[in-house]
């Protein structure tokens, strides 16, 4: 009979052959109209000529930049970020787990009305609005 897993002796892993390299080969900066878009260390920094605009996750930038025109996206980001900050300070932004269970319970395929910066990734489709005007 095997002993209880909680009674096992701790196992020490050898670190002799382990190395960590902190180098981001994907780092790049591109100019999009009056905006400078810098991607580095998993983050995307969108700056306008007059200063810092928005910092967002590189994965979210990739998703949004394939959905929206890059210059329109850069122009919309400051207002989207302000809206998210306001929602976080007043009523909060629902978690991924919350949306996962809502989708499961309702057997939903999409959601309408979410800010693109925090749209739930558990839905295959998240639409900002029914009209043609975003932001």
Q: Which domain holds residue 102?
A: 28-127
Residue 90 lies in a domain: yes
Residue 106 lies in a domain: yes
The domain total for the chain is 1
Tens digits of pLDDT across the chain (135 residues): 667 777 777 778 888 888 887 777 778 899 998 999 999 888 999 998 888 789 998 888 988 888 889 999 999 899 888 888 888 888 777 888 888 898 889 988 888 888 888 888 777 777 777 555 554
Q: Which has the closest alpha carbon to 79: 46, 121, 40, 120? A: 46
Residue 4 lies in a domain: no
Residue 13 lies in a domain: no
Residue 48 lies in a domain: yes
pTM > 0.85: yes or no: no
Residue 135 lies in a domain: no
Q: How many CB atoms lie within 10 A of CB 84?
A: 17
DSSP 2-57: PPPGGGSPPPPPP-TT-------TT-EEEEETTEEEEEETTEEEEEETTEEEEEEE
Residue 5 lies in a domain: no
């Amino acid at each position: 009979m095997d002993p209880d897993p909680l009674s096992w002796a701790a196992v020490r892993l050898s670190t002799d052959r382990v190395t960590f390299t902190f180098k981001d080969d994907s780092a790049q900066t591109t100019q999009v109209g009056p905006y400078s878009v810098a991607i580095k260390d998993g983050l995307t920094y969108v700056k306008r000529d007059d200063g810092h605009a928005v910092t967002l996750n590189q994965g979210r930038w990739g998703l949004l930049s394939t959905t929206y025109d890059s210059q329109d996206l850069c122009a919309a980001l400051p207002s989207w970020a302000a809206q998210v900050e306001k929602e976080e300070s007043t009523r909060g932004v629902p978690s991924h787990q919350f949306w996962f269970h809502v989708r499961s319970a309702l057997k939903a395929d999409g959601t309408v009305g979410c800010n693109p910066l925090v749209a739930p990734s558990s839905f295959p489709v998240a639409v900002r609005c029914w009209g043609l005007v975003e932001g």
